[in-house]
């Protein structure tokens, strides 16, 4: 790398130098890149982070380096998977990797309030949404879906749908100007959200609301 900005350049699959080094288990290069100030939680085209890459390949030392540097354990991919989901009992060091992830998760745990998921969805805080869904085993929260839709946060909605098994077209919430996710995004030009909702098998585009279809 001749220039500092080179550490941020991704290849055609969206992998940065840190992700490539994490995938290959080059702990000395990972340490060099961390010390150079690279982005720890970058995502590739599969929406995986360097930590997920290192975990999946069983690279214990790389996992330890990333966690010590502050890599997020609560940053999921588009399928609602986190680093812990990538640990396989068949891989080398599986117990140590799982233990490191659990220890780090305990050290960074924060209390969760009643409206945390809705507020987190509204501000595109995918890490908090992911943590809530993992802790509570997933739940259908229409208010969180509406908040994410209104903000155009399609990635948060993917997490809610994949991990929380959220209803893409829930019954209208009364006393709310944006009473369903699709109504929350209509007129906002959040086309990615519209496409995401329309792609869900259980979404009914012919549904009527106050006598009118969407």
pLDDT digits (tens, 9 = 90+) for 88-112: 888 888 889 988 888 777 555 555 5
DSSP state of 13: T
What percent of the chain clears pLDDT 70, i.e. is strictly above it?
87
Q: Are residues 163 and 199 in the same domain?
A: yes
Q: Are residues 124 and 86 in the same domain?
A: no
Domain boundary among 86, 107, 128: 107
Q: Are residues 45 and 91 in the same domain?
A: yes
The residue ranking higher by pLDDT, 185 or 113, is 185
Domain boundary among 39, 74, 107: 107
DSSP state of 52: H
Q: Are residues 84 and 135 in the same domain?
A: no
For the chain, where are the E strands, in sequence order?
A: 208-209, 212-213
What CATH number is associated with residue 45? 1.25.40.20
User: pTM for the full model?
Assistant: 0.60
What pLDDT, on a 0 to 100 scale, did the predictor assign at position 54?
Answer: 94
Q: What is the mean pLDDT of residues 132-150?
A: 79
Q: Are residues 100 and 141 in the same domain?
A: no
Yes or no: say if 133 and 118 are a contact pair by the CB < 8 Å rule.
Answer: no
Q: Are residues 13 and 69 in the same domain?
A: yes
Instruction: Using the CB atoms, write b or e for 48-75: b if 16+ within 10 Å.
Output: bbbbbbbbbbbbbebbbbbbeeebbbbb
- Domain carrying residue 78: 4-107
Yes or no: say if 109 and 140 are a contact pair by the CB < 8 Å rule.
Answer: no
What pLDDT, on a 0 to 100 scale, did the predictor assign at position 33?
Answer: 92
State phi, psi for 163 to the nearest 5 degrees.
-95, -35
Q: Are residues 75 and 120 in the same domain?
A: no
Answer left, alpha or beta for residue 150, where phi above 0 means left and psi between -120 and 50 means alpha: alpha
Q: Are residues 154 and 102 in the same domain?
A: no
- Give the pLDDT band (50/70/90) at residue 114: very low
Q: Are residues 122 and 206 in the same domain?
A: yes
Q: Are residues 131 and 103 in the same domain?
A: no
Q: Are residues 165 and 88 in the same domain?
A: no
- Give the pLDDT band (50/70/90) at residue 136: low
Q: Are residues 87 and 142 in the same domain?
A: no
pLDDT tops 90 at residue 50 = yes
Q: What is the mean pLDDT of the chain?
A: 83
Domain boundary among 83, 107, 131: 107
The residue ranking higher by pLDDT, 174 or 21, is 21
pLDDT tens readout for residues 177-207: 657 899 888 867 788 999 999 999 989 888 8
| Domains identified in the chain, total number | 2
């Amino acid at each position: 790398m001749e220039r500092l900005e080179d550490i941020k350049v991704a290849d055609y699959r969206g992998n940065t130098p840190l992700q490539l080094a994490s995938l290959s288990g080059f702990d000395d290069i990972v340490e060099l890149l961390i010390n150079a100030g690279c982005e720890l939680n970058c995502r590739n085209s599969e929406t995986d982070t360097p930590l997920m890459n290192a975990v999946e390949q069983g690279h214990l030392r790389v996992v330890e380096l990333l966690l010590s540097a502050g890599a997020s354990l609560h940053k999921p991919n588009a399928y609602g998977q986190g680093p812990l989901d990538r640990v396989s009992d068949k891989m080398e060091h599986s117990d140590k990797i799982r233990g490191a992830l659990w220890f780090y998760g305990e050290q960074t745990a924060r209390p969760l309030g009643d409206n945390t998921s809705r507020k987190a969805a509204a501000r595109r805080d995918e890490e908090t949404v992911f943590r809530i869904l993992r802790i509570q085993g997933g739940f259908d929260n229409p208010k969180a879906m509406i908040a994410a839709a209104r903000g155009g946060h399609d990635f948060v909605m993917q997490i809610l749908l994949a991990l929380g098994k959220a209803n893409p077209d829930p019954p209208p919430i009364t006393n709310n100007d944006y009473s369903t996710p699709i109504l929350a995004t209509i007129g906002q030009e959040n086309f990615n959200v519209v496409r995401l909702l329309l792609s869900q098998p259980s979404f009914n585009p012919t549904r009527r609301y106050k006598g009118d279809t969407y």
